[in-house]
């Protein structure tokens, strides 16, 4: 009988099915869905017979694959599958570190969040005193980040779900409006300064 | 297509995305997100329960409802209007929180327990739950058949007995 732990009293409950359920001891109400997960299959590496190819890292083990990074024979202990290719753990620890890091990616850069932050800075009190005069620095960076977003959207399916069409349209429009407003403001400022100096000449 | 569920709390923001073979939890940061993937093949159970979000309700009452009520007592027109607006906001938020309630999704995968809690719209959450359960069942189907829902947990039907044959005709077919 499948089991799960009651979130209310931490008792192990037996529940044959899926859907609404109730804990008989604490009265907890909720839904439980129990599944049949795949059992973990642990295969020990076979010992090599005299005619067998052997693993480069374990000379007594039979080779079962070829490392896509180094081309060496490797046993099942050393083989790691990444994106449909087999690599040896030694390779992934050394030259293939970047490849392993990319495959087991734990962090997703969000240039779109950074653009949003840039666009919010001029509206935050006190921060705007710094953000507005230095917009000539962060606005081009904002456009650069937008280009990065578009590239990531093409390459990464996860990012493409986060960076939808709406954002892809709105962000450059807002950046352009802000750039235009800043240019007009800067133009007026320069013109005003010129008038001021002309007046006192 | 955007994220499937968003969970916003005071200290963290997270999003849940359902892919074909895994559930992805994104913990949002300022410039990058922490990605946690829970592949469907090793998920043992999903437990979902809903609670009343007492903390949010109390914060709503203290920050909006109470000042609104005190402003109502002041008697001036502008303060009365402000008080009514504050109280209306508080009542709307409290009703919304009571309607949605705090939903906790607990996923047990390979003996490890992972939790996501948030206030989700019921319809959106129902769609998410159905897709999640369907996705896990679809991935685990090749390993083992899914456990049937409660409604179909019935004893198998008894074999239907054939109607009794006319004994006379079998005993002596020539008589017919």
Whether A36 has its CB under 8 Å from any CB of chain B: the answer is yes
**Residue showing tokens 């892809």:** A168
Whether A38 has its CB under 8 Å from any CB of chain B: the answer is yes
Of B19, B49, B133, the CB nearest to A30: B49
What tokens does B84 get? Answer: 């009514």
**Counting Cβ atoms within 10 Å, is residue A87 exposed (0-12), middle (13-18) or buried (19+)?**
buried
CA angle, corner B72, sides to B68 and B74, nearest 5? 120
Cβ separation of A35 and B140 shorter than 8 Å?
yes
**ipTM at complex level:** 0.73
Residue of A nearest to B30 (CA): A113
Q: Residue A19: list chain B partners with CB under 8 A.
A: 149-151
Strands (E), chain A: 3-5, 12-14, 18-22, 29-34, 65-66, 73-74, 79-82, 85-88, 107-109
CA dist., res. A143 & res. A132, Å (int)? 16
What tokens does A91 get? Answer: 């390779």
What tokens does B149 get? Answer: 């829902």
pTM of the model: 0.72
Write the DSSP symbol of residue A28: -
Cβ separation of A162 and B32 shorter than 8 Å?
no
Model confidence pLDDT, tens digit, residues B101-148: 999 999 998 888 888 888 999 999 999 999 999 999 888 887 766 666
Interface with B, mutate which of A12, A18, A159 (most B CBs under 10 A):
A18
What tokens does B69 get? Answer: 């009520």
Model confidence pLDDT, tens digit, residues B46-93: 999 999 999 999 999 999 999 999 998 887 888 999 999 999 999 999
- DSSP string for B52-100: --HHHHHHHIIIIIHHHHHHHHH--HHHHHHHHHHHHHHHHHHHHHHHH
């Amino acid at each position: 009988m499948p089991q799960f732990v009651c979130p209310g009293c931490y008792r192990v409950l037996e529940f044959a099915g899926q859907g609404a359920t109730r804990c008989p001891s604490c009265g907890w109400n909720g839904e439980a869905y129990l599944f049949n997960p795949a059992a973990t299959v642990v295969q020990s590496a076979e010992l090599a017979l005299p005619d067998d190819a052997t693993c480069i890292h374990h000379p007594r083990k039979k080779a079962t694959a070829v490392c896509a990074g180094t081309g060496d024979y490797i046993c099942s202990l050393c083989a790691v599958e990444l994106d449909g290719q087999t690599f040896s753990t030694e390779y992934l620890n050394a030259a293939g570190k970047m490849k392993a890091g990319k495959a087991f990616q734990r962090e997703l850069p969000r240039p779109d969040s950074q653009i949003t932050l840039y666009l919010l800075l001029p509206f935050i009190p006190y921060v705007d005193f710094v953000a507005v005069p230095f917009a000539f620095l962060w606005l081009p960076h904002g456009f650069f980040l937008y280009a990065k977003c578009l590239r990531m959207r093409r390459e990464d399916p996860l990012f493409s779900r986060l960076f939808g069409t709406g954002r892809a349209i709105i962000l450059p429009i807002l950046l352009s409006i802000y750039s235009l407003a800043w240019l007009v403001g800067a133009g007026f400022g320069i013109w005003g300064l010129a008038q001021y100096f002309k007046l006192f000449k | 297509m955007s994220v499937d569920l968003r969970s916003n709390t005071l200290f963290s923001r997270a999003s849940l995305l359902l892919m074909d073979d895994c559930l992805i939890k994104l913990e949002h940061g300022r410039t990058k997100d922490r990605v946690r993937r829970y592949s469907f093949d090793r998920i043992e159970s999903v437990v979902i329960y809903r609670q009343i979000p007492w903390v949010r309700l109390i914060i709503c009452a203290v920050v909006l409802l109470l000042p609104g009520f005190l402003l109502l007592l002041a008697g001036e027109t502008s303060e009365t209007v402000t008080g009514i607006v504050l109280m209306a906001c508080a009542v709307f938020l409290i009703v919304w929180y009571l309607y949605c309630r705090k939903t906790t999704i607990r996923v047990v995968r390979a003996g490890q327990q992972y939790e996501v809690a948030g206030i989700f719209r019921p319809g959106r959450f129902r769609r998410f739950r159905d897709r999640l359960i369907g996705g896990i069942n679809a991935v685990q189907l090749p390993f083992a058949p899914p456990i049937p829902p409660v409604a179909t947990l019935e004893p198998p039907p008894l074999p239907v007995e054939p109607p009794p044959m006319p004994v006379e005709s079998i005993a002596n077919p020539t008589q017919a």
